[in-house]
Amino acid sequence: MACQSVTAVMDEQALLGLNPNADARYRQRAVAYFEQLKESQDAWEVCAEALAKGIYNDDHVKFFCFQVLEHQIKFRHAGLSAAQQQLIRETLMKWLQCQLMNVQPEKPFIKNKAAQVFALTFVMEYLTLWPKFFFDILSLVGLNPHGIDIYLRTLMAIDGEVVDRDIMHSPEETRRNTLIKDSMREQCIPSLVESWFQILQTYQQSHPELTCQCLEVVGAYVSWIDLNLIANDRFVNLLLSQMSVDSLREEACDCLYEIVNKGMDPVDKTKLVESLCQVLQSAGFFSVEQEDDVDFLAKFSRLVNGMGQSLVLSWTKLAKTGNVKDAADALQAVESKVPLLLKLLVHEDDDISANIVCFCYEYLHVLKQLPQLTEQQKTNIEAIMLAVMKKLTYDDEYNFDNEGEDEAMFVEYRKQLKMLLDRLAQVSPELLLEAVRRVFTTTMQTWQTSPFMEVEVAIRLLYMLGEALPASHGAHFSGDTAKTSALQDMMRMLVSCGVSSYQHSSVSLEFFETVVRYDKFFIVEPQHIPNVLMAFLDQRGLRHNSPKVRSRVAYLFSRFIKTLHKHMNAFIEDILTRIQDLLELAPPENGFPTLLTSDDQLFMFETAGVLIVSGDIAAERKQALMRSLLAPLMDAFRLLLTKLLHETDEERQVVLADCLSHAVGFASRTSKAFSNKQTVKQCGCTEVYRDCLQTFLPALSCPVQRGLLRSSVRSFLHRMIICLEEEVLPFVPAASEHMLKDCEAKDLQEFIPLISQITAKFKQQVSPFLQQVFMPLVLAIFEVLARPAEDNDQAAALEKQMLRRSYFSFIQVITGSGMNEVMANQGAENIERVVFTIIQGAVDFPDPIAQKTCFIILSKLVELWGGKDGMVGFPDFIYKHIVPACFLAPMKPTFDLSDAQTVLTLSECAVTLKMIHLKRGPEFIQFLQQEYLPSLQMSPDISQELCQVLQQPDLKVLKNYIKAFFQQAKL
C-alpha cells in the first residue's frame, strides 16, 4: 500500500519499458528517458516526488526513481542548488516515513537500493549539510521493524562506502572517509552502539532476521570504533546468550570473531580472549562432539581459529619485547586451546577442519621458535600429525572418474594439510619421519586387505616427505643416515611388497608418482629397476584400464628413464619391443580409442629417443634402432599426405592433417634425446633425420590445411637446425620457397624466426641463400601489410603489428650478424625501399618495441655504410631521413616518455645520433647547427648545447640530456 496517491508528470510510455518482459521498443525508450532524467537540471525532481509521495506501486519504477536520484547524488551533487539538495534529504525522509506505515515491506532489492542512496547522501553531506543524519533517522524510525531494517541496511551501505578495505578509493576519498570516521567517533558512535544493543535485545525473539542484520553491523563497525563500547559485560553477555539461540548463533559467532580480531594491546587481547573462552567452555561449546549442526560448527571453528591466532600474535609481540611473564601467560593460553583445536581439526566435516588450519599452522610456528619442547608439546605434535594423516584420507564419496566441485574443494583442502605437514617437518623432522614410517609400514604389510584410501594415503605420506624433508637436487639417499635409511627402507618396501598391483587408480597413480619422486633410490639399489620397469610397462601402468593413469604414467615413465638412463643398457631393446604398439601413429580411419592420446605419445617417443641415444651401444645399432622408430612414421606420413591431397571432405581433411602433424611432432620429439655430448652425428643418426626432412617437406606445398602442416614442419626444421647443423642447409631454400607462397600474416610471422635462427647460427655459410631469399621475403611481408582490413578488426591489426615487429627483428638479425652484403647486394632501389620502411617504423607506428628495433637497425646501418668508404649516397640519406627521424619520432604525441619501453627507444635514438657523429664527425655538427636545427626554429643557444653534448665521449650523458631535451620540447 502506498502512503498516498498523487499524479506525477512522468513519461508513462517510457516507464512501461522498465518491465523486464517489455518489448525492445519500450525498453529503448526507457533507457533514453533514464539518460534524459539523469542529465537534466531539474527533470529528475519528478522521481523525487514520486518516491516521497509513494505514487507508483510498480517495483521497477521505484527502483528506476532511486537510480535517477543516485546519479544526481553521486555525479552532480556539487552542481545542485541548496533547495535541490534539501529536496533530496526531504525525499529520503518522507520515503522512510512511508515505510513505517506500510503493512508490506518493500522488496529487498528496493530496500538495498534505498540504503545505497541514503549512504551516498550521508557521505556527501554528513560533514557539512547533514551532521544530524543518524539522529534524524533514529528519531523517525524508533523501534519500528520496517524502519530498523532500512537503518541497518544503510549502516552496511555506509560501511561499504567509507570503511570496506576491499574497495579501491582515491587519496581524496580516503582523506574524506577518515574525516567521516573521526566525526562519527566524536559525535554519534555511542548513540549508534546503544541503538544496536536495543535492537539486539528487543528483536532477538520476534524478528531474528533483524537481530542477525544488527549482529552483522556490529561485526563490521567493531574494527574502527572504541572496543570498550562493545567488549563490556552488558554487550558480550548478550552476544554469548545469542550463541545459544539456533536462529542467531552463526551470526553471533561471526560478530564475536570480529571483536576478537580487533587490533589491541597484547595483554588486553589475551585477557579478552581468555574471558570469552571461559564463558564459552562453561556453556558447553567446547564439547564439539555433541554438536551436530555442521554450519554452526564451521562458524565456531572460525571463531576458535581467530582466538587462537590472536593469542599467538599476543605471544609473538610480548616475546619480542622481552615481557617474560605476560608472554608465558599468552603461551599458556595458546596451549590450553590445543585440545579444542585437535577436535576441530580432526572433525569429519572438512570445512570445519579447514577453518582451524591457520591456528594450527601458527601454533606449530610458535613451537618451532621454542628452545626446547615439553613432553606435552611433543604429544601435541604427534596428535596433530595423526590428525593430518587421518584428514588426508579420501572418503567413500570421492568420485575419481568424474571430479566435480566437491572433489576440487578436497584437493584444495589437501594442499592446506600439506602446509601443516611441511611445518611439522620443520618443528620435529624425527617425529614426522617416525610417524610416517609407522603408518606406511603397517599399511604396506596388510595392503591386500586394506581399503584403497588407507593404502593411497600411506604412499602419499611417503611422497610428501620428499618436500617436507628437503634434499638438494632430490638427493634423499645420501647424507643424514637416520633419514636416508628410513626413506630407503620405505622405498624398498614400496617396490617389493606388490602394492603396485592394487586395483584402484588413486593407489596406482600415487605408486608411480612416488617412484619417480625418489628415482635416485634406484641408483643406490638398482636391483629393483626390473620390477619397477615391468610395473610401468604392464596393466599397472601404461596399460592400466584408467586413461588418467595411463596418461600420467606416460609422462612419469619419461622422467624415470631420463634420470636412470645409465642403468637401462640391459633393458633397452626389451623396453622398445614392449612399447612398440604405443608408438604407432593412430590411423584416422578406424575410430577405435587408443591407449594413449597423441600428447601422451610425445612422451613415449621422447623416452624411446633417450633409450636409444643414451644407450651404451654401437653407433650402427643406435642408427638401426632410430630408423626402426622413425621409419613407420615416415611411411605413414607419405600415405596420409597422398590421401589428403585427394580428399575433398573438409572434416576428413582436418583429421588427416592432424594425423600428419602428430607424425612430424613425434619425430621432432625423439630429437630431444640428443645433447652436446651425444650429438646426432656421433650416434650415426644424421641420415635418418635427413630422410625425415625429405619426407616431411613436401607437405609445405599441400594446398589444403596449410596452416597446421606448415606450422608442424616449421617446428621440425627449428629442431633440425639445432641437431643436424649444416646438414640441414640443402633443405632450407626449397622449404623457404614453399613457405613464402600464398602466406598469411601469421605464416610469415612464424617463418621469420626460422630464417633468423639460420642467419644467427650459420652466418656467412647462408649468405648466398639469404641474398636470394631476402627480397622475396620482404616483398611477401610488404604485400601482407598492405592488404586492407576493417577499421575495427583488432585481431587483424594485432597480427599486422606482430608481423611488423618480426620483420624489423629479421632486418636487425641480418644487419647485426656481420652480413652487410645481404642487403648491400639487393640493388639501390630495393635497399632504399627497405631502409625507408625502417625510417617509417621508427617514426610513424606508435609501437615502442618496433621503434626501438628500428633505431638499433639505423644505428647499425650508419656504422656499416655511413663512413668515408661506405655505400655511395648513404651520407645524403643520413641527413635527409635518419637525422630527422631521431627528432620527429620523440616529438610525436604517441611517444610517451613516462613509459619505460619508450624510454629505451629514446636511448637507441641517442645511440643513433652518437653513431652518426662517430662516422661523419664535424660535418654532422655543422649540418645540425647551420641547417637542420634552425629549420626546427630551435634557438642558437639550445642548438649549441645539444651539439656540445653530442661531442662528449660519455654516451650516458647524451641519453640523459636527450630525455630532458624532449621532455622540455613537448611541454
pLDDT of residue 5: 36
d(CA 307, CA 281): 13
Query: Residue 247 in 3-state DSSP?
Result: coil
Q: How far apart are CA 741 and CA 743, in angstroms?
A: 6
User: Rounded to an integer, what is the distance from CA 376 to the centroid of its chain?
Assistant: 43
Average pLDDT over residues 768-795: 86
DSSP string, 466-478: HHHS--GGG-TTS
CA distance 173 to 809: 47
| Integer Cα distance of 92 and 120 in angstroms | 12
| Interval 809-854: pLDDT, tens | 999 998 888 888 888 889 889 999 999 999 999 999 889 999 999 9
What average pLDDT does the segment 661-679 reach?
91
Residue 132, C-alpha cell as written in the block: 544530524
pLDDT band at 6 (very low <50, low <70, confident <90, very high): very low
Place of cell 572460525: 302
pLDDT score of 16 more than 80? no
Which band of pLDDT confidence, cut at 50, 70 and 90, is reported for residue 43?
confident
pLDDT, tens only, 569-616? 999 999 999 999 999 998 776 666 789 999 999 999 999 999 999 999
Q: Does the structure show a pLDDT above 90 at 438?
A: yes
- DSSP classification of residue 105: P
Specify the pTM.
0.81
Sign of the dihedral through C-alpha 307, 309, 315, 318: negative
pLDDT-based confidence at 396, cuts 50/70/90?
Answer: confident
Run of H or E including 870? none
- Residue in this structure with the C-alpha cell 603397517, named with its chain if needed: 442
Listed residue (822, 896, 830, 895) closest to 860, CA to CA: 822
User: What DSSP letter does each residue of 741-765 carry, written as one string?
Assistant: TT--HHHHHHHHHHHHHHHHHHGGG
Q: How many CB atoms lie within 10 A of CB 934?
A: 13
Q: By percentage, how much of the chain surpasses pLDDT 90?
A: 71
Cα separation, 658 vs 256, in Å, equals 61
* Residue-averaged pLDDT of the chain: 91
562-600: b (≥16 Cβ within 10 Å) or e: bebbeebeebbeebbebbeebbebbebeeeeebbbebeb
End-to-end distance of the chain based on CA atoms, in angstroms? Answer: 64
The C-alpha angle with vertex 570 and arms to 564 and 571, in degrees rounded to 5, equals 75
332-375 pLDDT, tens digit each: 999 999 999 999 999 999 999 999 999 999 999 999 999 999 99
Where does the pLDDT of residue 32 fall: very low under 50, low under 70, confident under 90, or very high at 90 and above? confident
Residue with the bigger pLDDT between 855 and 43: it is 855
Average pLDDT over residues 200-210: 94
Quick one: pLDDT at residue 87? 95
Contact 226, 185 (CB under 8 A): yes
Indicate if the pLDDT at residue 2 is higher than 60. no
Average pLDDT, integer, range 41-45: 81
How would you write 469-533 as a 3-class SS string?
A: CCCHHHCCCCCCHHHHHHHHHHHHHHHHCCHHHCCCHHHHHHHHHHHHHCCCHHHHCHHHHHHHH
Whole-number Å distance between alpha carbons of 51 and 92 = 8
DSSP 928: I
